[in-house]
Structure 1
Amino acid sequence: MKKAVYFLTLGLLLGFSSCSSDDEVFSNESSVSSGNNTSKTAKVAVTDPSIGTTTTLNLTSSLLSSGTTTTGGKYWENIYVSNTNLTVDIFKFSHTATSDGYNYWDGFIVSNVNDITNYGAAGAGGSNNWVAHQWGTMAGSGFGTSTTVTPGTPGTAGDPYIVAYWSSYLDPKTPEGTTFNEANFSNWIKIGNTGLYEVKGLKINIHPWPYYGCLYGDGFARAFTSGDHFELLIYGVNASGVISSPITHSLANYSGSSLVMPTGWINVNTSNLASLGDVQYLIFQLASTDSDPTYGINTAAYFCLDKLSVQRVE
């Protein structure tokens, strides 16, 4: 709750709303095929491809044709619209939002913002300026952008990518072995409709807010010192709705005398992805050594992803 109160003072005004979907994990939705690279509202299901088919997330500029313009590009126009989900190809991304008296969102959005400026300053304005600039990725654009695009140059947006914000107060801690329900988790991706999938690939990038927060502090999070780490936890959900043990992907690690934070798109280890088993959902959480035992993570709870690739197995 401390985190939410903090953002209230910044003007983001986080609300304690539940996820927009209260469906059980295996409830039946109307069978409507989604067109590739278009955003859909909640309650829309996709059609599973045939068994053996591999599908890779393909984000195109059409997703942002009506996007909100900001420094360095655009972000999804539905970011503060309740009861919407971003659906691309066979992937449905969780998203919670409100604009009823204040703006709040969590889950996933799409962006092409090419801005890697440090908008925070420890002791000199803190994180206030990040609220209007929470749409970037340290790679500068999505994976596969032409090398002629310079990351961080305002007005030269590249390929779209996914930005995620995790509401740590919402999720149950250490959920492995429990039964999944969409309404209980901030950040999940549903894959297909009723099929089972093996995850073949995923690219992850650190978001500018936690990057600079780990490096310098941001008025709320402290700068990292030796022994600190910030990581992404990824869980799978099987056909019975049971959540797997997580795999861990490092976003920042201060080992010995150096802080390691890759700024390019990094592949999640393929053998780790395979260990998730055959899944219908993926769940994402974050962990940081800069955390309060009662109120949770202090490091800004953002990450970015691209090129999720899955193969239907059943």
Structure 2
Amino acid sequence: MKKVLYFLTVGLFLGLSSCNNDDAPLSNESASAVAKNVSGTTKKTVTDPAIGTTSTLNLTSSLLTSGITTTGGKYWENTYVANTNLNVDIFTFSHTGTSSGYNYWDGFIVSNVNDITNYGSGSAPGGSDGWVPHQWGTMAGSGFGSSSTIAAGTPGTTGDPYIVAYWSSYLDPKNPQGTTFSESGFSNWIKIGNTGLYKVEGLKINMHPWPYYGCLYGDGFARAFASGDSFKLLIYGVAEDGTVTNPIVHTLANHNGSSLVMPTGWVNVNTSNLQSLGEVKYLVFQMTSTDSDLVYGMNTAAYFCLDKLSVKRVD
């Protein structure tokens, strides 16, 4: 309950600021039902590549030409804009945003922020208000590419763009495998191409700074992880008939009893697992943590980062 109250209090207060301001607040889950209704979808016609063609997500600096400047780089200009999805190459990334009375977003955005500071100690209720204007980073400090050798957190430098995801579990169905997918029914999905079917051949995942430090030290909502704790990303496919597949699991953080394992570099999702999703039209992402409330869901901050999604058209 304190998580919901925190976002109601801090989100509504700070949400009066402009969405072009670094004080733009974290999305608040209690407002997501309203935000979902006003967001909608921006349609873009995508041409499927020829059957047998492999396409890999290529995030370029042009995506951030008009981005919002913050500590360590820029994030997507449409983060708090309604009726927008992020379209890159043959991929359409879900996105919900609003700046009407408060600032809210979920789904996916693009960023090149090279800032891995721990903002977990703040003065507002919950101790996480420091993250509100700094939710744009990745622990690698850069996307996976020619600039990936840039040291994370180096002042005054930015690297290659990458995708930041925030999962709002408020409306997502739990254990959705076997159900029929709809774009409006899920927070985080990626549509691949237009009408074709695809095999997923590669995907790189990186830890976001907020859950990284939350698992390590706690952050006011989340507690520091202890033996047996884990934080995982669930990846579902959507088959040709619209049915959601069984998920594959990618572990972001795991306390094995002797240490907390959280890779800070880009990690490949197991290729065999990705291909086991079968022939898909969409990917759907959810998260799970052992630090959760039965009513209000995860205490661990529901962020992750991705890059280099690679797919092959098969039909």
Q: How many residues align?
A: 296
Q: 1:146: Cα distance to partner?
A: 2.9
Within-5 A mapping of 1:46-195: 46-121=46-121, 126-146=127-147, 149-195=150-196
C-alpha distance 176-19 of structure 1, shift in aligned 2 (>3 A): farther
C-alpha distance 88-302 of structure 1, shift in aligned 2 (>3 A): same
Within-5 A mapping of 1:171-250: 171-250=172-251
Q: 1:77: Cα distance to partner?
A: 0.3
C-alpha distance 105-4 of structure 1, shift in aligned 2 (>3 A): farther
Q: Over residues 100-133 of structure 1, what are the superposed CA-to-partner deviations in whole Å (9 max), with x where a residue is unaligned?
A: 0100000000000000000003899711010100
CA distance in 2, matches of 1:295, 1:44: 35
2:304 matched to 1:303? Answer: yes
C-alpha distance 180-3 of structure 1, shift in aligned 2 (>3 A): farther
The answer to whether the 8 Å contact 1:236/1:276 transfers is yes
Instruction: Give, as a single letter, the amino acid of the residue that structure 2 aligns with 1:173.
Output: K
Give the secondary-structure state (helix, strand or coil) at the position aligned to 1:225. coil
The answer to whether the 8 Å contact 2:115/2:153 transfers is yes
Q: 1:21: Cα distance to partner?
A: 6.8
Q: Gaps (5+ residues) in structure 2?
A: 12-24
Instruction: Give, as a single letter, the amino acid of the residue that structure 2 aligns with 1:205.
Output: N
Give the secondary-structure state (helix, strand or coil) at the position aligned to 2:36. coil
Instruction: Give, as a single letter, the amino acid of the residue that structure 2 aligns with 1:217.
Output: G
CA distance in 1, matches of 2:217, 2:123: 10
CA distance in 1, matches of 2:258, 2:149: 34
CA distance in 1, matches of 2:9, 2:182: 31
Q: Which moved more, 1:204-213 or 1:120-129?
A: 120-129
Instruction: Give, as a single letter, the amino acid of the residue that structure 2 aligns with 1:102.
Output: Y
Which of these residues, 14, 18, 23, is aligned with residue 36 of structure 2?
18
Instruction: Give, as a single letter, the amino acid of the residue that structure 2 aligns with 1:305.
Output: L
Q: Which moved more, 1:119-128 or 1:232-241?
A: 119-128
CA distance in 1, matches of 2:284, 2:117: 29
The answer to whether the 8 Å contact 1:19/1:182 transfers is no
Identity of aligned residues (%): 76
TM-score normalised by the chain length of structure 2? 0.90
Instruction: Give, as a single letter, the amino acid of the residue that structure 1 aligns with 2:142.
Output: S
Q: 1:45: Cα distance to partner?
A: 2.3
What does residue 278 of structure 1 align with?
279
C-alpha distance 101-44 of structure 1, shift in aligned 2 (>3 A): same
CA distance in 1, matches of 2:199, 2:38: 27
Instruction: Give, as a single letter, the amino acid of the residue that structure 2 aligns with 1:162.
Output: I
The answer to whether the 8 Å contact 1:188/1:281 transfers is yes
Q: Which moved more, 1:180-189 or 1:149-158?
A: 149-158
Q: Which moved more, 1:147-156 or 1:197-206?
A: 147-156
RMSD: 1.7
Q: Which moved more, 1:224-233 or 1:147-156?
A: 147-156
Q: 1:235: Cα distance to partner?
A: 0.0
CA distance in 2, matches of 1:2, 1:278: 42
What does residue 34 of structure 1 align with?
none
CA distance in 1, matches of 2:37, 2:230: 28
What does residue 256 of structure 1 align with?
257
Instruction: Give, as a single letter, the amino acid of the residue that structure 2 aligns with 1:115.
Output: D
Q: Over residues 238-285 of structure 1, what are the superposed CA-to-partner deviations in whole Å (9 max), with x where a residue is unaligned?
A: 000000000000000001110000000000000000110000000000
The answer to whether the 8 Å contact 2:95/2:188 transfers is yes
CA distance in 1, matches of 2:105, 2:211: 17
Q: Gaps (5+ residues) in structure 1?
A: 23-40
The answer to whether the 8 Å contact 1:121/1:216 transfers is no
C-alpha distance 86-220 of structure 1, shift in aligned 2 (>3 A): same
What does residue 287 of structure 1 align with?
288
The answer to whether the 8 Å contact 2:218/2:224 transfers is yes
CA distance in 2, matches of 1:190, 1:290: 30
Q: Which moved more, 1:9-18 or 1:278-287?
A: 9-18
Give the secondary-structure state (helix, strand or coil) at the position aligned to 2:243. coil
